[in-house]
Amino acid sequence: MADRFARRIPEPTVFRLPVYQRALLALSTDGVPTVSSAELAEAAGVNAAKVRKDLSHFGTYGTPGTGYDVNFLLGQIRREIGLDREWQVVIVGMGSLGHALARSQRFSTQNFRAVALFDIDPAKIGEETAGLPIRHLSELPAIVAGISRSIGVIATPACAAQDVCNRLVASGVRAMLNFAPAILTVPHSVQLRQVDFSVELQVLAFYIAHPEATAGPEDASRSGL
């Protein structure tokens, strides 16, 4: 995406694209042909001006007085996100979370496909999950070398996360999703997203404890939820 744009796309805009995609998919499923910026904004939990500004980074898709063609805009946003192609997911750490992720149907519905599973526990090596064998972590470089458009998912204990991250980077993986409760260091060329359930629970606890500071819809959309 980066080489197609003359300037950097704001990170909050990128975070909102999946929210727009989800809202448009629901409208398309319901057979809604067109949607105004106000209607899309309501469905996505933001304001109409923000919708128009976000979409303006990628082109002019709306028609004055008519709004946006739902299916066309859905296709354009899916293309911008990269969902017009398949992404192959490598999962390291086959505990309960790793197994759940490997079996998730949401991977396939969004063009993500788990293709390789790794662990270091001898008792797990050779087991099959979602039709895939669990391989030893030492096999990661050879397996990942044959995978294009790979995304690494780290679902290990915190103490192992940085080592796994380093192995993924050394194997050529340039995008990672980390579920381990650890702050990881990666090169600037690598995209890293952190999913920390305990942090999210603490944020919820903060807003319950301080109702006067309750996050509005736009704050929720910023997290992609």
Does the pLDDT at position 3 exceed 60?
A: no
Given pLDDT bands bounded at 50, 70 and 90, which one contains residue 86?
A: very high
Q: What is the pLDDT of residues 104-153, one digit of tens each?
A: 987 777 889 999 999 999 999 999 999 999 999 999 999 999 888 899 99
- Give the domains, in start order, of the chain with CATH numbers: 2-81 (1.10.10.10), 87-194 (3.40.50.720)
Q: What is the pLDDT of residues 53-74, one digit of tens each?
A: 999 888 767 677 678 999 999 9
* Ranges 98-102, 124-128, 181-185, 215-219: which has the least confidence: 215-219
Residue-level pLDDT at 112: 93
For residue 189, the model assigns a pLDDT of: 95
Helix H, strand E, coil C: the string for the chain is CHHHCCCCCCHHHHHHHHHHHHHHHHHHHCCCCEECHHHHHHHHCCCHHHHHHHHHCCCCCCECCCEEEHHHHHHHHHHHHCCCCCEEEEEECCCHHHHHHHHCHHHHHCCEEEEEEEECCCCCCCCEECCEEEEEHHHHHHHHCCCCCEEEEECCCHHHHHHHHHHHHHCCCCEEEECCCCCCCCCCCCEEEECCHHHHHHHHHHHHHCHHHCCCHHHHHHCCC
Mean of the per-residue pLDDT values of the chain: 89
pLDDT of the residue at 105: 83
pLDDT over 60 at 12, yes or no: yes
The confidence score (pLDDT) of residue 225 equals 37
pTM: 0.83
The model's confidence at residue 215, banded by pLDDT at 50, 70 and 90, is: low
